[in-house]
Structure 1
Amino acid sequence: MSSRKIILGRMSSVDGASQETPVLRGPQPDARFSLLVEALKTNDLPGVLAQLARGLSVNHQEAAKGNRTPLIYAVKHDCLEVVDELLKRGARVGIADANGVTPLHMAAAGGHVPTVLLLLSQGASPDSTDAHSRTPLHYAARAANQDPTDRGVIGVVETLLKKGANRRKLDQEGRIPLHNAATAGSAKLIKVLVDKRSTETLNMKDNEGRTPLHCAVLGARSLEAVSVLLQLGCTIDARDAQGHTPMHLVAARPVNYVDDEFDGACLELLLSQGASVAAKDDEGYNALSLALRRTMWWGRPCTRDFVLHAVQLLVAKGSCIQDGFAMWRMVESFPSLVPVALNRSFCSNTSVRDSQHLRLDFDFGPLTVDARQLREIHRQSPLNPQSELPPPLLKDAEVAMLHYILWAGRKRLLRHPLCHTFLHLKWCKVRKYFLANVLFYLLFVLSLTAFLLSTENCAKDIKSSNISSNSRNTTNSTLNISDTRCLWVGIEAGLVGLSWWCLIIFSSVLTLREVVQLCQNPLLYICNIGNIFDATLVICVPQLLIGGFDMGQYASVTSCCLASWQQKVGAISIILAWVRLMLFTGQFPSCGVYIVMFSTVAKNVMKFLSMYIFLLVAFALGFHVLLRHKAIFDNPGISLVTSLVMMTGELDYESTFLESGISVLSIFILVVFIVLVFIILSNLLVGLAVSDMYAIRQRSEVLRLTRHVELMAQVEALFQSRFMPKSIQRCLLNNISLTGCQLKPSISVFPNRTVGFIDAMFLMLVKLVPSRKYLIKIFEIFVSGFIPPENEPSLPKELLSEAVNIALHEHEVDKRDRLLHLRALQSGVGWQHKSVHMQSSNATSQLAVFRRNSLSRPTSIAVPRNSWRWTFTSDADVEEDAAEHTHLVLQSQPSIRSSALGPSATLGRPVIPDSNARLDDLRAMIFNLQTTVEQLTATVNQQKSNRQN
């Protein structure tokens, strides 16, 4: 990142210097000169003459005062009579002080029109320059900083121009007087300084490459000055030496110089006049990224409302999220605007849906994260309240941004087509490794299943201590463990032995894998229930392999079986293994929704039972007290289990409740149990599970995408393990990389292009044949007119259809906005509004109108915008559910319709007619055109019939 900084701020003058020339250090001034200066301050002509009578020269240059003369001080204090007297006594009008400032410079800086006229009449040069090459015009324009509406300054400028002053004279900073006037925010002075014969001065750049429009925006003094410059034809997207347009300067103004009222109104004005939201500076940032950078300064009470307003306007005008930094700030600060901003990442080359040439471009720039760039931006942000960046963004992983979205609690953003497409394509890269992992786990489960099904259960507990005791009692001191042979009861040891060895191999690999994952990220490992199942299997399986051998007395023949404790461990192991295999299948896109739905319903049922468990406990204890002589109600625990079974309909009414000795109270409790538990509770539980399946399915889709992100993060973390050699790491990461080394990661898809048999054969052979060029030549020989197809990424039909709809909508909106903007410029509607408004109000009232119309907005930010396509009814600090939905309200203002073809005095700012507001006009025009065509057709037919007759 470049070390150049954006130098912004309110400038009090062109170079920051005051009107007075800096005083040089030296000896004490002449007493007579000091008394003369004091007399000039009070406009005391006799006192001045008295000092001159004491021998003080009229052209005396006081070294202690920067070689200034009495005439310079007289002009400075606007003592016209003294100036006239000094000139009559021989004072030279062209004499300058140590910095080259002449009396005319001083008079122009003070806005003293009579003094300027007097000096010019005595031969003062209107283009004299000081040590910084500034002319009196520069000084006069700079003086407007104090009061942009001062008639004296404007009069001085008009007088100098009449006397032939050069309005294109450059100072040492490369600025003309118009730059100073724009910085001062004086619209009237700008009109005077602009050359009516040529607009070249409007776009002249200083040494920093800034035009007068840049200076007007930087000065932040008058919206009217910006409007005048745009009206006169100043280039709205001119770039300075750092590539900043005026809109960049407004969006990125530092917090110390922010003026919410001016910046908000100026941003609206620039956008309404067609400023490009896609323009980037030399560092590659657009205006939206620069505006979002201001959110790093929220540790100070400053511009939260303005930033929200600016981001809304930029997104509404089509600005896109271009990198991971902007995406991070949008998700954290304005999550409700993220889906709309991401829509700009889709692009189509045509608006014809069924065209074979329709190309759909996906820009994955918002989902790519450069951790080093984020750390650099974070370091440069002053007074940042955050101590560190979010942990997921510091990882060098392609799914870092999606992982951060989960970490920030914005899971529903994963359903956006851009995020969904990125995950799908990433899955296509990772699935081969995932399938290998599933195949390995399937073999492990089958080995475990074969081993447990092939073994016999021991008749009694066989403790491992028997092995050691029998080994110590044997007389053969040379016994080796290799002498033992395991003969399974009833069968040969072939199948069982093979499954035993396979289980040893697979469990060892599983143990090694789990240890690596645990060391890589312990917290992520523990939070995954699948990893908990795997860790349990790693602990349980070795107990099945090494603990169940009864070696006998001589260790020559053994009878192997599973002890009772091994049977329990085996039951737990085989259940966990198959359930874990089911969870593996849930990672597949086609099956994941159903697995997630199962887990969602299971969680709901558990919550339901935990709420009503007291009701079941009450009936279980009641049945135990009354029917404890029955085996099924023998103790409270068994009675509770029986109540759960009875809840499913297994009442066993005849054998349990109709025997002799059963009291009426037992029958009554049973009836109450049937009503409350079996009828009400059971049906409520079923209704909870199946009544709202659509909502569960929608939520399951989000959870499925969440698990996909976790899987991708886990795979990339595993491939970056420190236990793996660097060369293997690079190879694996490049193999699963989706974006590679692209500066702007993107893909292109042709949705309507069909692949025939020849194309499919070519694409299949391309993967096998190393040389694509020779393969193309072979196909061209046998297939006439063969065009080699490209291997495009395949996307699900629903996802592709949704992406096409978004891209076509954005394409239509952009085309319509361009046409409306061009028509507005050609018809001059905006400038007519501006002229009417400027003639009826000054700069202060103009800013008040902007403040009333656009900046006095409620917390919900639901203010109608005449010049924008969208209005967002959202807040920056809404909860997750509210932030996940963006309300887009199409505005249709009657005032715009009435002003589309002519000026309107009711509008307070120049606007481009809203595209939706123009629909009625366009429909009326089409209707009138059809009517006219029908009338002409009828007339022509009638004339033909008359001729024939």
Structure 2
Amino acid sequence: MSSNNCGFIDPQGQLSAALANRDIREFHTALDSGAQANRQDDRHTTLYEKALSTPGCAQFIEACLSHGCNVNYINQKLNKAAISYAADSRDPSNLAELLRHGGVQVDRKYSQLTPLNSLAKNLTAENASQVGSCIQLLLEYGASPNLVDQGEFTPLHHVLKNRKIEAGTKLELIRLFLKQPQLDIDSYRNGQVRQMLRDQYPELPLPELREAGAEIDCERLLRTLRDGDENQFEQQFVEYHQNVSGNADNQCNANQEEYQSLLAESIKRGKQRAFEAILETGININPSKLSDISPVELAVIWGNHRALEKLLKHPQLRLTSHSKLLNAVISRLGEQPLDDFCDHQRCFQLLLESDRVDINEADKAGLVPLSYAVKYRNTKVAQELLRQGAYIGARSAFGDLPIQEMDPKVLEEHFDSCITTNGEKPGDQSFEIIINYKNLMRRQRESGQSDRRSIGHPHQLEDEMTPIAYIADSKELRYLLQHPLISSFLFLKWHRLSVIFYLNFLLYSLFTASIITHTLLKFHESDHTALTALFGLFSWIGIVYLIIREVIQLAMSPLLYFRSITNLMEVALIVLSILTCMEASYDKETQRILAVFTILLVSVEFCLLVGSLPVLSISTHMLMLRAVSSSFIKSFALYSIFVLTFSLCFYILFGKPQVDSSSPKDSTPEPAKKGEDDGHFNTFSVPIEALIKTIVMLTGEFDAGDIKFDSVYTYLIFLLFVFFMTIVLFNLLNGLAVSDTQAIKAQAELNGAIVRTNLLTRYEQVLTGRDGHAIVGSEPFRSICQRLMNVYPNYLTLRQISVLPNDGNKVLIPMSDGFELQPLNGKSPASFQPLPTSATQKKKLLDPPVKLLPCCCSVMNGKCAQIDGRTVKLALALIDQKSNTEQRRQRDQISDRRLQIIEHKLENLQFIEQKLDHLLQVLQERT
């Protein structure tokens, strides 16, 4: 048993020793311990290969296959398959164990020999019995008896030439071959096999003669393809195509099916010349049925990159929504190639380079190629898809995004690559920072159709906040919100949607001031009746606005509407506002209660609205309020058990009635009378009041003078309450609040980005109509929502912007080589129209979302088209970092080249020195 110096058993050494000793139990133990039978040693051989090629190792082969070894394993250095190793063993049990698992490529060649050819060629008198059984096994599992070696000898030809084996054994093998219905004894070496059979065994019945002019059918062409003789196939196919062309009118569909089967076989076998010959006939390369696999899909599955390249350039190719080519090839990138023509990596590159392939194609489960790359942990493929513009916000049928399992560093590195410059010097006025949003916006084709053709409602607007909303919710990815790519995109989205926010904020502020003023004047019965009526009118206008706003939200997204607590609170606010403003017939006390709750709801709603303002200090304080409130409620929900426990203890100890029968009624002490006048709140005589009193005491308001301590137990319970509840618990809650506020202050800028993301996501959810209501897909609502919400394609035609850091951080929108969403003649629906080529302006300044109104922020500071300075600084720092990294890489390359030159010179000097030494020795010998 193999072990290292520390005494630990080496599973790989244990596996090798077990195979050498033929100990199957130890072999299984080593495999279960983590040993790998297909791990190559220094000589590029594996234990799996040794087991296959060693007689009597059927059990070891079965153990290897059950632990993950492939029946079609190929030694990449020797290009030798598992079936060839098994044939080398000349052991029928080894071969049977491998073939029993199914799917073995029995005609895989090694050194121009198939396993059947190799066995027949190496047939001797000593191994005749074992080799004969192996030949019979291969023929039973579909090995072709017609494949030839480099000398154009078939296996039967080798048997007939063999003079080393006994006559009976030879006759049995010949009869075994003659039983094969597809046997061809006429096509090779001018029919020598038939002639030898007639001369040596005239009594044997032979297959019908295949004359050169005999009829060629599809089955014969398929056999020729499987035999691998492309020269013969081309000759036969020309004759077959000429015969078929004469009957094309009657058998068009049948001929197409036969040609398609031939095309599929040529793709599977990697026969490029045969493939091109079939393709030149004008065959329909698109499947007639949805269930059929198209040739282009077959080429991807088998990794035939040459056929795939030819098909992608074919003018008749039509890729449907069911052709998930990228998904198919990504799932096979880690597999070993089954033949020389297989190259799934090259197929992947061809699909990416083709403009016919949708990089965001989704399968039935909604998984896009980027999801497959992340699923199979293929980082290089994921990076390449991101570079090609794969959308990171494509949801699957289960609501998952491609970036959920992606390494944050990979995503961050790609985001860094999306920040570039125009190549000018950093100090020039024309220096631009180019920010590319190719992965944040779903790419659309010229027809305006989304890449996601099979998913989603046809009238549903595309949302653009989905990936950023997930980033904001993920603790691992949240820091990326401060990346210049994300922060600038949030700036653009806010620039589009800010008009809705500020308009809503203004109208609601007027409503808040009006209804509070009207309520105060009404319930204090002010003499200013005209003023009360005026504010009442303003309140009713505000209520109408709220109703219209909520009706629009409900109509646009009915299912999403009732999932929001804020929406339900707004409905309650509308109802209470109407009851407060109307002249009610119920009593004053009820009116006052309704007015109180109305003012509370109005204030809470106004506070939430103010907290959504894009001001860092305001959003930070609002986040602190939410965090502390949430933390307190969660903590107090658990600790309320102790509050309830102590309130019951106080009720039992201090809530007993004060009865003194020995004293007359009129001699009641003064303090007792005072207690009766003040009620039972301080005496714990009512359970509910006892609970409220205990909660008040938790804050430190004890009123211990009103508590009657009549025993040592009452003191003990009260002191326990003071220690555990007032000192420990209350300070614990305060500590949690301080901790939450400190954490929020430490990442104030990140929290501000989170607040803005949540606000924009909420607005976009309403405007897109997530549940696909008809009102969103109808005009003019669709055009209005698209104008206010979507940044691409009707606003950013190239999915990128330019920032001028040396010109006030102005934002420019590139307009070159793009298509702008414009109405035709002002009547027909909007469609993509090319920009006029005579236009000299290639970029335009960032304009307001609504051209009839100035941008909201430009009214205050005139900076509508300027991005915030922090984003620009981060982008410049990122560009400098990438520039320094590139310079270091170039310096390292130069140093490596210099080092190589120096090493080469040293080698030359050593060579010269050796020559001089040799010359000196020769001269010394001669002298």
TM-score (norm 1): 0.50
What CA distance in whole angstroms lies between the structure 1 residues aligned with 2:545 and 2:229? 92
What CA distance in whole angstroms lies between the structure 2 residues aligned with 1:293 and 1:670? 67
1:754 aligns with 2:821: no
Listed one character per residue, the Cα deviations across residues 111-139 of structure 1 (whole Å, up to 9, x for unaligned) are 899xx9xxxxxxx99989842589xxxxx
Task: Find the residue that maps to 1:504 and give its secondary structure.
Answer: helix
Distance 1:408 1:327, change over 3 A: farther
What CA distance in whole angstroms lies between the structure 2 residues aligned with 1:254 and 1:584? 48
Query: Once the 2 structures are TM-superposed, how far is the Cα of residue 521 of structure 1 from its aligned partner?
Result: 2.7
Query: Once the 2 structures are TM-superposed, how far is the Cα of residue 702 of structure 1 from its aligned partner?
Result: 3.9
Q: Which amino acid aligns with 2:406?
A: L
Counterpart residue number, 2:463: 399
Q: Which of the numbers 214, 217, 222 marks the counterpart of 1:97?
A: 214
Task: Find the residue that maps to 1:748 and give its secondary structure.
Answer: strand
Q: Which amino acid aligns with 1:97?
A: A
What CA distance in whole angstroms lies between the structure 1 residues aligned with 2:283 and 2:106? 18
Query: Once the 2 structures are TM-superposed, how far is the Cα of residue 675 of structure 1 from its aligned partner?
Result: 0.9
Counterpart residue number, 2:766: 714
Query: Once the 2 structures are TM-superposed, how far is the Cα of residue 806 of structure 1 from its aligned partner?
Result: 6.2
What CA distance in whole angstroms lies between the structure 2 residues aligned with 1:725 and 1:98? 64
Distance 1:717 1:811, change over 3 A: farther
Distance 1:722 1:130, change over 3 A: closer
What CA distance in whole angstroms lies between the structure 2 residues aligned with 1:703 and 1:520? 23
Listed one character per residue, the Cα deviations across residues 782-801 of structure 1 (whole Å, up to 9, x for unaligned) are xxxx9998348544444455
Preserved contact between residue 624 and residue 636 of structure 1 (Cα < 8 Å): yes
Counterpart residue number, 1:508: 544
Task: Find the residue that maps to 2:395 and give its secondary structure.
Answer: helix
- Give ranges in structure 1 of 5+ residues lacking alignment: 1-9, 14-38, 45-64, 86-91, 117-123, 135-171, 194-200, 379-388, 458-487, 551-561, 760-785, 817-914, 933-949
Counterpart residue number, 2:521: 454
Query: Once the 2 structures are TM-superposed, how far is the Cα of residue 311 of structure 1 from its aligned partner?
Result: 4.6
Task: Find the residue that maps to 2:358 and give its secondary structure.
Answer: coil
Counterpart residue number, 2:512: 445
Task: Find the residue that maps to 1:337 and give its secondary structure.
Answer: coil
Counterpart residue number, 1:588: 613
1:79 aligns with 2:194: yes
Distance 1:693 1:929, change over 3 A: farther
Counterpart residue number, 1:571: 596
Task: Find the residue that maps to 1:681 and give its secondary structure.
Answer: helix
1:632 aligns with 2:682: yes
What CA distance in whole angstroms lies between the structure 1 residues aligned with 2:405 and 2:584? 61
Listed one character per residue, the Cα deviations across residues 325-353 of structure 1 (whole Å, up to 9, x for unaligned) are 98335954562228535864624146899
What CA distance in whole angstroms lies between the structure 2 residues aligned with 1:809 and 1:265? 45
Where do residues 663-674 of structure 1 align in structure 2 (5 Å cutoff)? Answer: 663-674=711-722
Listed one character per residue, the Cα deviations across residues 604-630 of structure 1 (whole Å, up to 9, x for unaligned) are 111111101121122223333444466
Counterpart residue number, 1:935: none
What CA distance in whole angstroms lies between the structure 1 residues aligned with 2:698 and 2:598? 29
What CA distance in whole angstroms lies between the structure 1 residues aligned with 2:614 and 2:495? 10
Counterpart residue number, 2:533: 497
Preserved contact between residue 308 and residue 334 of structure 1 (Cα < 8 Å): no
Listed one character per residue, the Cα deviations across residues 867-918 of structure 1 (whole Å, up to 9, x for unaligned) are xxxxxxxxxxxxxxxxxxxxxxxxxxxxxxxxxxxxxxxxxxxxxxxx99x9
Listed one character per residue, the Cα deviations across residues 664-706 of structure 1 (whole Å, up to 9, x for unaligned) are 4443333222210111101111122222446555678546523
Preserved contact between residue 460 and residue 776 of structure 2 (Cα < 8 Å): no
Distance 1:106 1:631, change over 3 A: closer
1:656 aligns with 2:720: no
What CA distance in whole angstroms lies between the structure 1 residues aligned with 2:703 and 2:298? 87
Counterpart residue number, 1:609: 636
What is the RMSD of the two structures over their aligned residues, measured on CA atoms? 6.5
Preserved contact between residue 250 and residue 263 of structure 1 (Cα < 8 Å): no
1:362 aligns with 2:436: yes
1:545 aligns with 2:601: no
Distance 1:743 1:421, change over 3 A: closer
Distance 1:252 1:399, change over 3 A: closer
Preserved contact between residue 507 and residue 538 of structure 1 (Cα < 8 Å): yes
Counterpart residue number, 1:531: 567
Query: Once the 2 structures are TM-superposed, how far is the Cα of residue 310 of structure 1 from its aligned partner?
Result: 7.3
Q: Which amino acid aligns with 1:449?
A: I
Task: Find the residue that maps to 2:356 and give its secondary structure.
Answer: coil
Where do residues 725-874 of structure 1 align in structure 2 (5 Å cutoff)? Answer: 726-727=779-780, 729-731=782-784, 733-741=786-794, 745-750=798-803, 752-755=805-808, 790-791=845-846, 794-802=866-874
Query: Once the 2 structures are TM-superposed, how far is the Cα of residue 572 of structure 1 from its aligned partner?
Result: 0.8
Distance 1:319 1:78, change over 3 A: farther
The worse-fitting range, judged by mean Cα deviation, of 744-753 and 575-584 is: 744-753
Distance 1:276 1:619, change over 3 A: same
Task: Find the residue that maps to 2:800 and give its secondary structure.
Answer: strand
What CA distance in whole angstroms lies between the structure 1 residues aligned with 2:541 and 2:790? 31
Distance 1:311 1:802, change over 3 A: farther
Q: Which of the numbers 423, 427, 431 marks the counterpart of 2:494?
A: 427
Distance 1:516 1:217, change over 3 A: closer
Where do residues 116-195 of structure 1 align in structure 2 (5 Å cutoff)? Answer: 130-131=238-239, 184=269
Counterpart residue number, 1:252: 326
What CA distance in whole angstroms lies between the structure 2 residues aligned with 1:623 and 1:69? 105
1:240 aligns with 2:290: no
Q: Which of the numbers 370, 374, 394 marks the counterpart of 1:327?
A: 394
What CA distance in whole angstroms lies between the structure 2 residues aligned with 1:419 and 1:216? 38
Counterpart residue number, 2:24: none
Query: Once the 2 structures are TM-superposed, how far is the Cα of residue 221 of structure 1 from its aligned partner?
Result: 11
Task: Find the residue that maps to 2:523 and give its secondary structure.
Answer: coil
Task: Find the residue that maps to 2:460 and give its secondary structure.
Answer: coil
Preserved contact between residue 628 and residue 741 of structure 2 (Cα < 8 Å): no
What CA distance in whole angstroms lies between the structure 2 residues aligned with 1:651 and 1:756? 60
How many percent of aligned residue pairs carry the same amino acid? Answer: 15
Distance 1:133 1:278, change over 3 A: closer
Preserved contact between residue 775 and residue 781 of structure 2 (Cα < 8 Å): no
What CA distance in whole angstroms lies between the structure 1 residues aligned with 2:237 and 2:737? 87
Counterpart residue number, 1:848: none
Counterpart residue number, 2:148: none
Distance 1:543 1:251, change over 3 A: closer
Distance 1:434 1:110, change over 3 A: closer
Distance 1:807 1:701, change over 3 A: same
Listed one character per residue, the Cα deviations across residues 237-286 of structure 1 (whole Å, up to 9, x for unaligned) are 996327999xxx99637599969623699999776x99858943232534
What CA distance in whole angstroms lies between the structure 2 residues aligned with 1:105 and 1:720? 55
1:691 aligns with 2:747: no
Listed one character per residue, the Cα deviations across residues 213-252 of structure 1 (whole Å, up to 9, x for unaligned) are x9999768999x98xx9xxxx999996327999xxx9963
Task: Find the residue that maps to 1:241 and give its secondary structure.
Answer: coil
1:622 aligns with 2:649: yes
What CA distance in whole angstroms lies between the structure 2 residues aligned with 1:682 and 1:104? 89
What CA distance in whole angstroms lies between the structure 2 residues aligned with 1:433 and 1:251? 43
Task: Find the residue that maps to 2:336 and give its secondary structure.
Answer: helix
Greater relative contact order (Cα 8 A, min sep 6): structure 1 or 2?
1
Q: Which amino acid aligns with 2:420?
A: S
Preserved contact between residue 264 and residue 309 of structure 1 (Cα < 8 Å): no
Query: Once the 2 structures are TM-superposed, how far is the Cα of residue 440 of structure 1 from its aligned partner?
Result: 0.9
Distance 1:397 1:43, change over 3 A: same
Preserved contact between residue 405 and residue 411 of structure 1 (Cα < 8 Å): no
Q: Which amino acid aligns with 1:639?
A: A
Task: Find the residue that maps to 2:516 and give its secondary structure.
Answer: helix
Preserved contact between residue 451 and residue 496 of structure 1 (Cα < 8 Å): yes
Counterpart residue number, 1:678: 726
Preserved contact between residue 321 and residue 366 of structure 1 (Cα < 8 Å): no
What CA distance in whole angstroms lies between the structure 2 residues aligned with 1:531 and 1:109? 69
Distance 1:791 1:430, change over 3 A: closer
Preserved contact between residue 438 and residue 584 of structure 1 (Cα < 8 Å): yes
Distance 1:735 1:98, change over 3 A: same
Preserved contact between residue 616 and residue 644 of structure 1 (Cα < 8 Å): yes
